[in-house]
Amino acid sequence: MIDSLVDRADQQRRARDYQAAVQTLRVVLASDATHARAHATLALALLGMRRIAGAEAEAEAALVADGGDPFCHQAAAAVRLAQHRLAEAWGYARVAITDDDDPDARVLAAAIRDASGHRDEARALIDEALELDPGHLAALAAQAGLDLADGQLTDARRRIAVVLGVDPRDPTARVIAARVALAAGDLAVAETHTRFVLGFDAGHRGALDVWMALKAQRGVLLGAWWRITGFMSVRSPRARIGVMIGAYVLVRIAIIAAAALGYEQLEDSIGMAWLGFCVYTWTAPTMFRWMLRREVQTIQV
């Protein structure tokens, strides 16, 4: 009974219905808090919702419950990849791929190796995944991504078309398709794919990156505006704090120096410019989300 509920939750997760998966696993874990697979599946579902702290705790609970289960290591590797802790992620992934029948673990391990700059190893892992399951969509999408990185646009386009033919809602495949179109100079197609993803998930980092690249190609000023606003809106909190505090200290030093040198008008001007910058950065994330919503209102499937 419990195992079938965990299987159902895993299917919900794979269908990207993360809320439903979390609810199902909540029921499972309320009756058996030491169910390793339930903790691991919950970690992956929470990652889908970008709840990294919760996912990390669940992955740790999964490893405590069964430290020998490769699937628990797979969940831990996915969490570490999301945290950009690539060495640790690879450590977990190496255990995850000891499961000889799991293509998912190999696709994840490939993503970790690719992010670490080992594209050949990533390609070998994807090949292994496709040997296990030739129709594995995530593996095909990852292979298309590697083809794109190697400049093989025709192969990338062919593979991603197969993935989208089976699952047209796959956001990862859509973003890769957008990147392929962007690389081929087909901005309209790239925009269609990106709009599709952002229409469902306005915070998708990959889609936002393509969106900003599209804006930059269409106009220097517009592109610069989108990039600055995007930087203030979607970068990591630590980067944003760094920018804010760095700018604050520089401006205050400029004001103090201007006053000490007797440039009162300059002091006032810097103060007013700083006030404008504060108002702008305060409203930038809201403006960014509003403009994005407005832009992706017309979704073309």
Partner 1 sequence: MSGYQIADEPTPSDVLGNAVCSPSGPLLATMMCGAWLAWPWFAFNAIAMGSPTKRRELAMVGLALGGTIVLAIVVRALVGAGIIESAFVLQLALLGISAWKVGMAYAISTVQTRAFDVYTLYGGKVARAMVVLILGQYLRRLVLGVTDDPIWQIIVSGGPS
Q: Which residues bind partner 1 (CB under 8 A)?
A: 22, 25-30, 33, 42, 46, 51, 53-54, 56-58, 237-238, 240-241, 244-245, 248-249, 252-253, 256-257, 260, 278
Of the pair 224, 256, the CB lying nearest partner 1 is at 256
What is the Cα–Cα distance from 10 to 4, expressed in whole angstroms?
Answer: 10
Residue 209 CB, nearest approach to partner 1 (Å) = 22
CB of 32 to partner 1, least distance (A): 10
Closer residue to partner 1 in complex, CB, 15/245: 245
Helical ranges in the chain per DSSP H: 2-14, 18-31, 36-48, 52-65, 70-82, 86-96, 103-115, 119-132, 137-149, 153-166, 171-183, 187-200, 205-218, 220-234, 237-260, 264-295
Q: Which is nearer to partner 1, 25 or 141 (CB)?
A: 25
Q: Residue 242: CB partners within 8 Å, gap ≥ 6?
A: none
Minimum distance, C-beta of residue 256 to partner 1, in the bound complex (Å): 5
Closer to partner 1 by CB, 218 or 235: give it.
235
What is the smallest separation between the CB atom of 34 and partner 1, expressed in angstroms?
Answer: 12
Q: For residues 162 and 244, which CB has a smaller minimum distance to partner 1 in the complex? A: 244
- Is-contact 89 56, C-beta < 8 A? no
Spatial separation of the C-alpha atoms in residues 195 and 189, rounded to whole Å: 10
* Nearest-10 Cα torsion for 236, 174, 195, 207: 10
User: Cβ of residue 248: shortest distance to partner 1, in angstroms?
Assistant: 6
**Closer CB to partner 1, 168 or 203, in the complex:** 203
Q: 5: closest CA among 23, 17, 19?
A: 23
State the nearest-atom distance from the C-beta of 45 to partner 1, in Å: 10
How many residues appear in the chain? 301
Task: Retrieve residue 145's tokens.
Answer: 């991504």
The pair of structure tokens assigned to 240 is 């944003």
Rounded to a whole number of angstroms, the minimum distance from the CB of residue 26 to partner 1 is 5
291 close to 283: Cβ distance less than 8 angstroms: no
Q: Which is nearer to partner 1, 58 or 170 (CB)?
A: 58
